[in-house]
Structure 1
């Protein structure tokens, strides 16, 4: 098809083209007038990607930053924050709730029921134009708001940023306040435990009548008990030796006691042996000269028997002394052992009470310090969020310029108009010939049926049936 043919076709279809242009121009003008020009203002908030361990109190990096920022974005886009924005704007005079009353009554009916409040509805209207973008790499939230007035957009987005930070801070303060209150209750409970432990220690001191026992005192008692045990063992050995010596002396004939081996400590026996030896010699000399009937012999014999009895008695006394010494040392050792055991038990109980007091005091100090930290955290003005950039009035609209809107409207309107015009022409147009139908539909024609002329002077139409 050449240019002349195209112009010829355009001339023949001038009504269609005119209709399309008229519809396109109308759509363009309608879009240009109806579509409002909006300005966008952006505020950026820094959110710390760190957290505090509840058990240790240490600050550590968050593991799931994206999820945390998603939660923060949900908080920023919540109705609670929007209501605070409404209150801020109304207090500053930048917003009047009466301006929303007509629209609120029109869309909701204006019935004062639960959830249908003008203030809540206005907050939801503000949230429609609010967009929040979270950046987990920078750990920031970008709040953007669109309005027809650039200054109003900046005021609202700044109000949203301030309300969000205030909400987070208030949440943190309430959280730390609850923790501080919990720690205060725990501190009071621990203080009572410390007082009870101190009372138990004082009562035990008063009941036992002792002062704090030092380690040196118990060690001295243990050393003394060990020395007494050694003396007892030595005494038992002496007793065994003395009893053995006594049994030997009792089985030894009396005339041989003069040569009986006595220990060095048996001084009376040894002296009696020395005297017995002299008396025995005298007795033998008298017997050789005068005989056993001589008075001096009888007196010497009596003295000899007495000395032999003295030797045996000294051995008996030595064994008896050893036995009594062992019994006395055993009694002293038993008493000292009982005293030492009681002292150790007392020391253990005393140490246990002291450790209980010390542990209670340490726990109380730790909880009191943590309570003070939580109380200080509850008074912090800014904790986790920082305003990096405030929203400023934008000089360029966020919506496309007017001429772009007009061009888009012309294109859309022309397409709509052309489509409608072609549809009308095809609906009202006539089929000129069978060849035209064959060329347009690319099918074969089985026959032509002439429609009877209608009343009213309409020309006959051709009904074409496709082949199977």
Structure 2
């Protein structure tokens, strides 16, 4: 089939096409006029997902924005929000819905759930493609009812969104409140245990006390070292006879007596040579020399005894200092043990204090979150009663019916042509009968001859007779 044949078929079946078009437009127009009018009221919400939370200071990652918007759409369209709308508007108490519920519902379902399902069937929630705005639309036969229910869904959603944010925080705050009592008791017990231990051991400041005792230990140790050196010196002198004699002879008193004895013996020798031993002066000098010898011997004995006493005293002092150092070490070890025990108790107090502070901080934060009065969603514009119905769209339906009527008419024309094939031009003879066309008698050049002359129909141009 070429273009000319198609146009000739349309021309021959133009009445059928026109009738189909008129019937399509008439039917669609009548249906559009007879259909009940429905009104759509739309409210808009803006979702602020970039701002920081006023309590926690956290911001939402950008990759979660699309998922968050989809979640909000699901929340608005949830059964829970619809039940809140039913309860807020008290639809279950209205007699018209109760009567319709008894007439329509046969199963085990409450009127609240039935109304919620009906409301959700007329609700349409769409997010904006390029922004964070949500559009909540509700369809109803009454424009005021559509606006009222759209706004009711928005308010119920805002309330549900706030509950979803605050209810977990309130439950967490209640749990932390219960835990704070136990943590406070643990902290008080730890502090009481530490205080009791410090009082029983007489501890004021372990660090200061340890520093004082360490200083005292250092002093005792230095004194013990000095006493050991003195003991070693005395013992060395006593064990070495030459050193002992030298130490004795180097004594100033002994040296003085030795000097006096030497002078007395020199004087005695002179008197013996000059006057003789029986001379009174010689006897006095001899008695003086004997007295000096006795004093010297006595002094040497005294010095030796003093050296022995010094050795004994040094040994005694060394022993006392050694015992004092040992006692001081034991004392320091006891202080270290007390400090370790007190440190354990102090760490228990610190751990209990840290746990209590963290729980208190978290409790304060969750309590603030539980009493927060705002969410990330805010009402941008409320729904108003529409002036024109959203359905049926008469003009659009008529336009579509015209297109449908034309397409349907052309289709019917082609079907009728296939069922009742006729020769409508010389080209039908060529295509179906194979008879050559010798000429065509025409009064004037028509559109088909004009097309044929230019070879646009795929056949040789006929010669006019």
TM-score (norm 2): 0.75
Alignment RMSD (CA, Å): 3.9
Deviation, structure 1 residue 216: 3.6
Aligned to 1:453: none
Aligned to 2:260: 278
Aligned to 2:451: none
Deviation, structure 1 residue 161: 0.7
| Structure 1 residue corresponding to 2:107, chosen from 108, 111, 117 | 111
Deviates more, 1:38-47 or 1:387-396: 38-47
Aligned to 2:445: none
Q: 1:431 to 1:276 in 2, by over 3 A?
A: same
CA distance in 2 between partners of 1:27 and 1:207 (Å): 105
Name the SS for the 1:188 alignment partner. Answer: helix
Q: 1:409 to 1:330 in 2, by over 3 A?
A: same
Deviation, structure 1 residue 180: 0.5
Name the SS for the 2:181 alignment partner. Answer: helix
Q: 1:410 to 1:61 in 2, by over 3 A?
A: closer
Deviation, structure 1 residue 391: 0.8
Aligned 8 A contact 2:46 2:377 in 1: yes
Aligned to 1:128: 121
Deviation, structure 1 residue 393: 0.9
Q: Does 1:240 align with 2:222?
A: no
Deviation, structure 1 residue 358: 4.1
CA distance in 2 between partners of 1:242 and 1:316 (Å): 8
Name the SS for the 2:90 alignment partner. Answer: helix
Give 5+ residue unaligned stretches, structure 1: 1-5, 263-269, 447-468
Q: How does 1:140-289 map to 2 (within 5 A)?
A: 140-208=133-201, 210-213=202-205, 215-248=207-240, 250-251=241-242, 260-262=249-251, 270-279=252-261, 282=264, 289=272
Deviates more, 1:364-373 or 1:44-53: 44-53
Aligned 8 A contact 2:40 2:139 in 1: yes
Q: 1:118 to 1:410 in 2, by over 3 A?
A: farther
Name the SS for the 1:383 alignment partner. Answer: coil
Deviation, structure 1 residue 201: 1.1
Name the SS for the 1:60 alignment partner. Answer: coil
Kindly provide the CA deviation profile for residues 306-326 of structure 1, in whole angstroms up to 9, marking residues without a partner as x: 333222222222222222222
Deviation, structure 1 residue 280: 5.9
Aligned 8 A contact 2:36 2:392 in 1: no
Q: Does 1:47 align with 2:40?
A: no
| Structure 2 residue corresponding to 1:393, chosen from 385, 399, 417 | 385
How many residues align? The count is 416
CA distance in 2 between partners of 1:287 and 1:310 (Å): 29
Deviation, structure 1 residue 188: 2.1
TM-score (norm 1): 0.75
Aligned to 1:458: none
Name the SS for the 2:59 alignment partner. Answer: strand
Q: Does 1:66 align with 2:66?
A: yes
CA distance in 1 between partners of 2:83 and 2:306 (Å): 115
CA distance in 2 between partners of 1:34 and 1:157 (Å): 26
Kindly provide the CA deviation profile for residues 236-266 of structure 1, in whole angstroms up to 9, marking residues without a partner as x: 2222222233334x23686x776x335xxxx
CA distance in 1 between partners of 2:129 and 2:233 (Å): 95
Name the SS for the 1:59 alignment partner. Answer: coil
Q: Does 1:423 align with 2:423?
A: no
Q: 1:313 to 1:8 in 2, by over 3 A?
A: closer
Give 5+ residue unaligned stretches, structure 2: 1-6, 279-285, 436-465
Aligned 8 A contact 1:25 1:410 in 2: yes
Aligned 8 A contact 1:23 1:414 in 2: no
CA distance in 2 between partners of 1:251 and 1:172 (Å): 102
Aligned to 2:305: 313
